[in-house]
Structure 1
Amino acid sequence: MLIPDNIDKFESHGERLLYIKFKNDKSATKFYVLHSVFTNYHFKNITGELDFLVLAPGHGIFAIEVKHGGVRRKGGTWFYENRHGKVTATKKSPFDQVSGTMNSIRAFLLSKLADKKENYRFSKILFGTGVAFTSMNEFVDFGQEAHSWQILTRQSMKLPVYNYIDTLSKGLHNQHKRKSWYDVNLSIPTDKDCKKIIQILRGDFDIDYSEINKIIDSDYLIEEHTKEQFHLLDILNYNDRCLIQGPAGTGKTIMAIEAARRKILAGKKVALLCFNRGLGLKLKKSLEYLFENKMERSFSGTFHTFMSDNTKLASPVSGDDKTDFYKETLPFEFLLQNEYIPEEEKYDLLILDESQDLITPFYIEVFNSMLKGGLKDGSWVLFGDFSNQAIYLNNPIESINLLNEISTFTNFPPLKINCRNTKKIASHNTLLTGVDKPDFTGKSIDGDSIVDVFPSKNKQVECVEDVMKELLKEGVPIEKVTLLSPKRIENTFIKDSLFVNELISNGLTFSTIHSFKGLENTIIIILGFEEITSEESKRLLYVGISRARQKLYLILNEELKHDYQKIIDKNIIKLSE
């Protein structure tokens, strides 16, 4: 049991990794894991904080300090380097730090137990410490400062986290078992003891037991790379040109951002580009901190923004003119203005996310002009779904043929593990669009059932309003919900709802499916389809459904119910393949 169990922001990436390990380890479900335990009752300092306090019935109580990033010790001073390159130094070792805070919390607990018998019982429970070095690949001997069994490394994190707690328990009990005060029975906490400790400590931190935790699981799970994805990122170091394909939800965008981050930190000039505006904003935001740290030579965002910033050309107002402008006028002007750009000013690496929307003859010429060595001899990585998500360009096979004509590249086997959607959402996508059933890991969430309703045309607004009212009643933050439609809002029945429009002005998002490509949200409500049988509708449904992480609503005209059931009956066999 994690307390709290809905954290989406962490002080360090290492804490995030360990939190995920505790959350997903089924063998550790009987542990009570408190994250970020703060105390005002520290022996030596004004305050103190534990990264994790693990109450393990049958094992012991363990305080765990997490250190992520670069760590070194020189002349008795410890140096820590974070992901931004900032180095901090301290004379206090992490083992001393966690021990001091743990003993302070233990003393606080005992001070709250007025009953002598109860105080005696809890004074016999063993409290131990450990330090997780989540960036350290191999074990380092820390000498007299720590026992080997106290240390968790990147290698040992490949095992269930239960193994680490069990190792801490055995090490702690072996350390004390020969001491006169040690009692093998009293030293081990029961489940009742652990619950009592939680009750005492609860005032020191905020525990969220709200209903929302049953609806929205922690969003950080989406960012957990599978072993397959980590493997591919490592392989990028040995292949100059790569095409990485995969269906929606397999983590392509996360991988693209991570690949860019690694190369930028290595001093490379990187262009991370996409087609969609919403996704472009996400890419830009994800790497902004690097640009703030004097790495502004690189670029992340939409391809069109990249060209517009370079040429200083403004987009026309009308829709038809815009299409021609972005397809031909803007790239042509970019080529004219950058015809004689020196090779040393070009980009070292080009990364395209949702690349199936960007491989056109005109765009290819721009890529050739901006990349050292061009597409033929330069370094590039293309992430895309060339089978299902090409809703801007309708012939993805032609795009791959274009690439084959230009250069040789490594075309990796497609990503298969879905790390975004619940099993029920991904399975429903197969039922409704006919796409192949994705693979899941043992950690994948089964999730809530899909809610599909078929109101008459004059009841659709009321239906959406009812769904929103129910979600708000359950305490779902409004920004966790997105309404998706194949049409703009002014062309849907939503435009007539004062209630929904007020919610939109307060943080609820409405988007066309086209504009939401590459993005996601906890809860997705799909509406506005006039038909669901054409290839175009299937592509849009595929993209729309795959945006939902935890909960999916389909609100469709009652006239579509027959087609809906017919499609599901046809595709249901795919779930057994």
Structure 2
Amino acid sequence: MARMIPPLIGDDAAPGERLVFQRLASDPASEGWTVLHSLDLAKHVRQVQGEADFVVIAPGRGVAIIEIKSHERVARGEDGQWLLGNKPPTPRSPFQQASGAMHTILAYLRGKRIDLRGIPVVYGVWFTHVRARAILPPSPEWHSWQLLDRDDFRTGAARAVLRLLDKGREHLAKHIPAMASTTPGPDETTAKALVAALRPRFELGAGSADLRRNRNAQLSAFLREQYEALDAMEGNPRVLFTGPAGSGKTFLAFEAARREAATGKSGWLLCYNRALGTYLRDHSSGAPGLEAGSLHSIMLRITGLQPPEGANSDFWQVNLVEASLERLLDGDLARDYLIVDEIQDLSAPGYLDVLDLMVKGGLAGGRCLLFGDFERQALYGLHDGRNELATRIPGLVSYTLTANCRNLPRIGAAVELLSGMSPGYRKFRRQDDGVQPRYYWYSNPDEQGQLLSRAVRELRDEGFELEEIVILSPRRSRSAATQCKDQWLRPLLAEAKGTVAPKGRVRYTTIHAFKGLEAPAVIVTDIDDPSVPGFEALLYTGLTRPTDRLSVLATKDALAKKLL
């Protein structure tokens, strides 16, 4: 099966793109391919900006750029205008779109000094919901082999792409004699170079601000190395990936789920935290056979229970667990693989009993990939969780991630200093931009409220969108955000729930609730009582959430000694 980048496709993708993505990801004939989805083309050869829906890199066969059209109505008027679904008529042909994307990519790759000689690079248009080859008459504007349609799903998506590549090479050979006399490329080495050059442009779509462009380029460069962690552990059925916050564990969990789902097997992608569970569910929808979410949400679903109003820990940790065990013992609900993010929060005996019944072969004999940070992010008192896992899973293989790919180095240095992190990060993957974390000292709640408004304004003035800013507090009630009185800021606040940030709103939540998530700019508030249980773990978790900007609202008594 093909390697898909990004590993999962979002809910907002067009239906045809989702269909092609899923079929290529699960087609055995695409083994060894790399398929890149939704490439932003910032320097398009014919327009201000464009996009390539799919780029297929098939070693030994060529490279295909494919434009996807999901419309159920496709026609071309006598005036030459294209009629696609309910969209207004347009003179711009889908084939022109695909051609423009191909030439833009070729120019980009040549600029990277990648040798494209002997590599067939072709383009085509896939009309996923109509029999376009029967509807569209022959035209000098495209070749018949460049047209893919609904019928191609019956014979196989990979087979349709191979037809495009092979016919395209035959066409190129008529005009480029050297193409016919050489073994088709790319070879394995060149294919890897192509992926390395293009992958950063796919894995994180560039934003309009320079800050976001720089962040995306740096983060995506690191992700190449993260794939190697999974590759190294591929032969081990049960692996525990450990590492500090920011070391890419959630990304690896997504990629692991994508790889497992691509084999046609069924599985779970689980976590403890509700907001993270919502994020996992929303960003993994469409992966065949995969169900994602928080363990508690899955237990509620399989038992049919509803939490009572004001449900306490007895319901969540005892009643719900016992009901889930009964349901799992009665029914055939076990799946082929189990992937758990933030496993340190689910290492209590009751939760592990549930997880044991959710995977075929159990924890000791099934396919289990676990991701966690047992040193700093065990916020729920499960400090012996790693020992509990070792007891449940004899011979559990461990892989340690030590590099920070999320935070700018100055943020990471603040994390090490303020949380007493020892040892610190082995290295930082991102380049520092010279901006220090900001500290706002307050002496009373009213002063903190004023400083919170100032912190948000300063981030906005620096170029951050309001939806890129998250306010975190160790307090569930009476936090700086919930008590905000500022007339400008208060209407802009929205509680974070793990879903897509609402446009033009500043999200707020607790540090506990945002665990496992990240945001470009984070403001940590209410740091005034170092005597609360788990203070350093809470501080560590909150401080590691931002990718680019960290602001801290604290009393000097709480942090000044750490900063001296």
**TM-score (normalised: structure 1):** 0.65
In the TM superposition, residue 484 of structure 1 has moved relative to its aligned partner by: 0.5
Q: For the Cα contact (< 8 Å) 1:275–1:354, is it kept in 2?
A: yes
Counterparts of 1:503 and 1:37, CA distance in 2: 40
Amino acid at match of 1:313: L
When structure 1 is superposed on structure 2, of 494-503 and 425-434 the one drifting more is 494-503
Counterparts of 2:113 and 2:299, CA distance in 1: 60
Quick one: structure 1 residues 470 and 401, their matched pair in 2 at CA, closer, same or farther if it must change by over 3 Å? Answer: closer
Q: For the Cα contact (< 8 Å) 1:78–1:91, is it kept in 2?
A: no
In the TM superposition, residue 15 of structure 1 has moved relative to its aligned partner by: 6.1
- Provide the secondary structure at the position in 1 that maps to 2:370: strand
Counterparts of 1:480 and 1:351, CA distance in 2: 28
How many residues align? The count is 439
Q: For the Cα contact (< 8 Å) 1:527–1:554, is it kept in 2?
A: yes
Query: Superposition pairs for residues 406-421 of structure 1, below 5 Å?
Result: 406-421=392-407
Q: Does residue 1:504 correspond to 2:512, yes or no?
A: no
**Equivalent of 1:543 in 541, 550, 560:** 541
- Provide the secondary structure at the position in 2 that maps to 1:238: coil
Aligned to 1:328: 318
Q: For the Cα contact (< 8 Å) 1:252–1:384, is it kept in 2?
A: yes
Amino acid at match of 1:332: E
Amino acid at match of 2:493: I
Quick one: structure 1 residues 366 and 92, their matched pair in 2 at CA, closer, same or farther if it must change by over 3 Å? Answer: closer
Aligned to 2:329: 339
Counterparts of 1:501 and 1:306, CA distance in 2: 35
**Equivalent of 1:483 in 458, 464, 471:** 471
**Equivalent of 2:192 in 155, 169, 176:** 155
- Provide the secondary structure at the position in 1 that maps to 2:470: strand
- Provide the secondary structure at the position in 2 that maps to 1:516: coil
Q: Does residue 1:461 correspond to 2:449, yes or no?
A: yes
* Deviations, residues 294-329 of structure 1 (Å, cap 9, x unaligned): x3x4311100011000001001211xx332111110
State the Cα RMSD in Å: 4.3
In the TM superposition, residue 487 of structure 1 has moved relative to its aligned partner by: 1.0
Aligned to 1:305: 297
Aligned to 1:107: none
* Deviations, residues 212-265 of structure 1 (Å, cap 9, x unaligned): 424774447545555553233124431121111000001101111111111111
Amino acid at match of 1:500: L
Q: For the Cα contact (< 8 Å) 1:215–1:551, is it kept in 2?
A: no
Quick one: structure 1 residues 556 and 243, their matched pair in 2 at CA, closer, same or farther if it must change by over 3 Å? Answer: same
Q: Unmatched 5+ residue regions in structure 1?
A: 1-7, 20-32, 69-75, 101-128, 130-140, 162-206, 570-577
Aligned to 1:525: 523
Counterparts of 2:166 and 2:522, CA distance in 1: 43
In the TM superposition, residue 90 of structure 1 has moved relative to its aligned partner by: 9.0
Counterparts of 1:399 and 1:57, CA distance in 2: 50
- Provide the secondary structure at the position in 1 that maps to 2:329: coil
Query: Superposition pairs for residues 55-204 of structure 1, below 5 Å?
Result: 86=157, 89=161, 143=180, 153-157=190-194
Q: For the Cα contact (< 8 Å) 1:242–1:382, is it kept in 2?
A: yes
Query: Superposition pairs for residues 429-440 of structure 1, below 5 Å?
Result: 429-435=415-421, 436-440=423-427
Aligned to 2:80: none
Aligned to 1:514: 512
* Deviations, residues 514-539 of structure 1 (Å, cap 9, x unaligned): 00000000000110122236661111
- Provide the secondary structure at the position in 2 that maps to 1:38: coil
Aligned to 1:315: 307
Counterparts of 1:216 and 1:482, CA distance in 2: 20
Q: Unmatched 5+ residue regions in structure 2?
A: 1-9, 22-33, 49-90, 124-143, 199-205, 495-503
Counterparts of 1:155 and 1:485, CA distance in 2: 44
Q: For the Cα contact (< 8 Å) 1:223–1:254, is it kept in 2?
A: no
In the TM superposition, residue 469 of structure 1 has moved relative to its aligned partner by: 2.2
Counterparts of 1:347 and 1:468, CA distance in 2: 45
- Provide the secondary structure at the position in 2 that maps to 1:554: strand
Amino acid at match of 1:551: R
Identity of aligned residues (%): 26
Counterparts of 1:369 and 1:280, CA distance in 2: 20
Amino acid at match of 2:46: F
- Provide the secondary structure at the position in 2 that maps to 1:527: strand
- Provide the secondary structure at the position in 2 that maps to 1:279: helix
Counterparts of 2:473 and 2:418, CA distance in 1: 16
- Provide the secondary structure at the position in 2 that maps to 1:389: coil
**TM-score (normalised: structure 2):** 0.67
Aligned to 1:365: 353
Q: For the Cα contact (< 8 Å) 1:249–1:421, is it kept in 2?
A: yes
Aligned to 2:253: 256
Q: Does residue 1:402 correspond to 2:388, yes or no?
A: yes
Quick one: structure 1 residues 315 and 159, their matched pair in 2 at CA, closer, same or farther if it must change by over 3 Å? Answer: closer
When structure 1 is superposed on structure 2, of 403-412 and 329-338 the one drifting more is 403-412
Quick one: structure 1 residues 222 and 86, their matched pair in 2 at CA, closer, same or farther if it must change by over 3 Å? Answer: farther
In the TM superposition, residue 493 of structure 1 has moved relative to its aligned partner by: 5.8
- Provide the secondary structure at the position in 1 that maps to 2:46: strand
Counterparts of 2:212 and 2:94, CA distance in 1: 42
When Rg is computed on C-alpha atoms for both structures, the one with the higher figure is 1
Amino acid at match of 2:490: N
Higher helix share: 1
Aligned to 1:492: 480
**Equivalent of 2:279 in 273, 278, 282:** 282
Quick one: structure 1 residues 373 and 90, their matched pair in 2 at CA, closer, same or farther if it must change by over 3 Å? Answer: closer
Aligned to 1:49: 100
Quick one: structure 1 residues 286 and 270, their matched pair in 2 at CA, closer, same or farther if it must change by over 3 Å? Answer: same
When structure 1 is superposed on structure 2, of 228-237 and 431-440 the one drifting more is 228-237
Counterparts of 1:336 and 1:271, CA distance in 2: 19
Amino acid at match of 1:287: S
Amino acid at match of 1:308: L
Q: For the Cα contact (< 8 Å) 2:452–2:480, is it kept in 1?
A: no
